[in-house]
């Protein structure tokens, strides 16, 4: 076998329970979503192929059920009450690796807790607008109720219930999920909208003319005035206020992306569904802090959404000045906007805390951090 294939890791799944990603469509066909994670190979593989079999069958390696360069895939058109098996192989040209580890699940749409409501569709799916834009939400799951937010917070059943299209007149990130009887809650949909004209002019700033001025100490505060709730999602660009060495450390003197805020942190905007605002050009030794409030102590999944075309990038997260995660190795995602979510498990105590995201080896884009409880 060629050397370029020697570094392949085992196939990873988003959740410990594959069935948690089963969902039921109106035609009673099933789909399962699996996450593939690979060590960097030199040269990198062209892509991956997924092969499928059922109990008692052999894999047909001439007929992959999916092929591509992405590291996530949805496999559908599966029969009810059938046990399926999957393996993944990497390929480059006419060369192909051996099998990854095998994963299996039994499709049982009637079982409680195995069906997941379809993720809502946001129309339009984000992007730039001038003046105002009307937004609509839709889920293909029969009888689904959709709840959404426009303030950056993760929606819950206490959030606004969608009943009719709504209008946006400023920069907004819409987040929504669907709820239906007999289904698990859907994955969260998100779309970022950016207003390109009609913004209010900034008020004039008066500058003292005397040199006998003592600067007031700027206190670190959560961006927006309130700690970010945990569980929840925090956008990378919503780091605390307070300036250099208090709320963040950046090696440049200005925001090279020129977006969202006037701090020195480099913030860009990408006009696609999955990017929106993000911090880019995060260099080695830089960091961002976020004031949070944890609702209840316990074990949490801490998920970082990142993108980088470089190998061996690293970061870690601190809590109140103490290392929380240890080193987190990031995958080469294949591009600056090819976002992947890296997950780790942490233990949190209830109450107000300060999270610091540290870039140990820079050269990456950072989109958001999501922290949610593990277990029922």
Name residues of the chain where pLDDT drops below 50: 1-34, 36, 38, 40, 109-114, 199-216
Contacts of 301 (CB under 8 A, 6+ apart): 343, 344, 345, 370, 371, 372, 373, 374
Give this prediction's pTM.
0.48
Length of the chain: 376
51-59: long-range contacts (C-beta < 8 A, 24 or more apart)?
A: 51/86, 51/87, 51/88, 51/89, 51/99, 52/84, 52/85, 52/86, 53/84, 53/85, 54/82, 54/83, 54/84, 54/85, 55/82, 55/83, 55/85, 59/87, 59/99
End-to-end CA distance of the chain: 44
Is 218 part of a structural domain of the chain?
A: no
**Nearest partner of 374 among 302, 286, 280, 292, judged by Cα:** 302
Only one residue has tokens 């992405």, namely 70
Burial of 206 (0-12, 13-18, 19+ CB in 10 A): exposed
Backbone torsions φ then ψ of 21, nearest 5 degrees:
-105, 10
The verdict on 237 and 302 lying in the same domain is: yes
Closest residue by Cα to residue 222 from 244, 247, 245 = 247
**CA distances to 46, 251, 313, 323, 333 from 309, in Å:** 14, 21, 10, 27, 6
Residue 31 maps to a domain: yes
Cα-based angle 69, 70, 76 (whole degrees, multiple of 5):
110
Element (H, E) at 78: strand 72-78
Of the residues 195, 212, 241, the one at which a domain ends: 195
- Candidates 100, 71, 98, 67; CA nearest to 2 is 98
Same domain flag for 265 and 317? yes
pLDDT score for 142: 86
Residue 219 lies in a domain: no
pLDDT at residue number 80? 63
Residue 332: what pLDDT? Answer: 94
Nearest C-alpha neighbor of 119 from the set 74, 152, 65, 163: 74
Q: Within its chain, how far is the Cα of 201 from the centroid? A: 33
| Domain extent at residue 77 | 3-106
99 CB neighbour count, 10 Å cutoff: 14
Based on the fold, state whether residues 235 and 347 are members of the same structural domain: yes
Q: Specify whether 366 is located in the same domain as 236.
A: yes
Contact at 8 Å (CB) between 30 and 118? no
Tell me, yes or no, whether 298 lies in a domain: yes
Same domain, 19 and 85: yes
Are 242 and 296 contained in the same domain?
A: yes
What per-residue confidence (pLDDT) applies to 273? 66
In a domain, 191, yes or no: yes
Asked if 242 and 364 sit in the same domain, the reply is: yes
Q: Do the domain assignments include residue 77?
A: yes
Say how many domains are in the chain.
3
Is there a single domain that holds both residue 69 and residue 144? no
Is 192 in contact with 150 (CB distance < 8 Å)?
Answer: no
Q: Which of 178, 195, 212 is the last residue of a domain?
A: 195
Q: Are residues 98 and 145 in the same domain?
A: no
The domain spanning residue 250 has which CATH number? 2.60.120.260
Specify the CATH number for the domain of residue 23.
2.60.40.10
Based on the domain organization, do 363 and 253 belong to the same domain?
yes
Identify which of 312, 224, 309, 236 has the alpha carbon closest to the alpha carbon of residue 269: 236
Same domain for 81 and 129? no
Among residues 106, 132, 164, the one where a domain terminates is: 106
3-class secondary structure per residue, 140-165: CCCCCEEEEECCCCCCCCCCEECCCC
Kindly state whether residue 209 falls inside one of the protein's structural domains.
no
d(CA 280, CA 257): 8
pLDDT, residue 324, reads 95
Is 21 inside any structural domain?
yes
- Domain identity same for 33 and 72: yes
């Amino acid at each position: 076998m060629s050397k370029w294939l020697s570094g392949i890791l085992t196939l990873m799944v988003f959740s410990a329970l594959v069935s948690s990603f089963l969902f039921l469509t109106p035609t009673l066909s099933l789909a399962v979503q699996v996450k593939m994670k690979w060590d960097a190979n030199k040269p990198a593989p062209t892509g991956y192929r997924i092969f499928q079999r059922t109990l008692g069958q052999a894999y047909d390696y001439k007929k992959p059920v999916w092929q591509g360069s992405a590291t996530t895939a949805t496999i559908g058109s599966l029969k009810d009450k059938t046990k399926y098996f999957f393996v993944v192989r990497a390929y480059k040209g006419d060369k192909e690796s051996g099998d990854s580890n095998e994963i299996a699940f039994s499709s049982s749409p009637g079982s409680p807790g195995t069906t997941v409501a379809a993720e809502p569709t946001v129309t339009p799916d984000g992007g730039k607008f001038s003046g105002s834009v009307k937004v609509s939400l839709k889920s293909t799951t029969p009888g689904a109720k959709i709840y959404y937010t426009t303030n950056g917070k993760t929606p819950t059943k206490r959030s606004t219930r969608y009943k009719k299209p709504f209008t946006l007149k400023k920069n907004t990130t819409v987040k929504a999920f669907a709820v239906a009887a007999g289904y698990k809650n859907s994955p969260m949909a998100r779309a970022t909208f950016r207003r390109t004209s009609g913004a209010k002019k900034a008020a004039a700033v008066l500058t003292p003319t005397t040199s006998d001025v003592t600067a007031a100490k700027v206190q670190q505060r959560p961006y927006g005035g309130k700690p970010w709730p945990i569980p929840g999602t925090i956008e990378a660009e919503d780091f605390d206020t307070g300036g250099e060495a208090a709320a963040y450390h950046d090696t440049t003197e200005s925001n090279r992306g020129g977006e969202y805020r006037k701090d020195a942190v480099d913030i860009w905007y990408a006009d696609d569904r999955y990017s929106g605002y993000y911090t880019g050009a995060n260099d080695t030794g830089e960091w961002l802090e976020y004031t949070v409030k944890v609702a209840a102590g316990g074990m949490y999944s801490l998920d970082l959404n990142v993108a980088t075309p470089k190998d061996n990038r690293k970061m870690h997260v601190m809590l109140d000045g103490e290392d929380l995660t240890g080193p987190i190795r990031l995958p080469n995602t294949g591009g600056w906007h090819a976002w992947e979510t890296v997950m780790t498990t942490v233990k949190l105590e209830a109450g107000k805390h300060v999270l610091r995201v540290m870039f140990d080896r820079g050269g990456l884009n950072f989109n958001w951090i999501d922290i949610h409880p593990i277990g029922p």
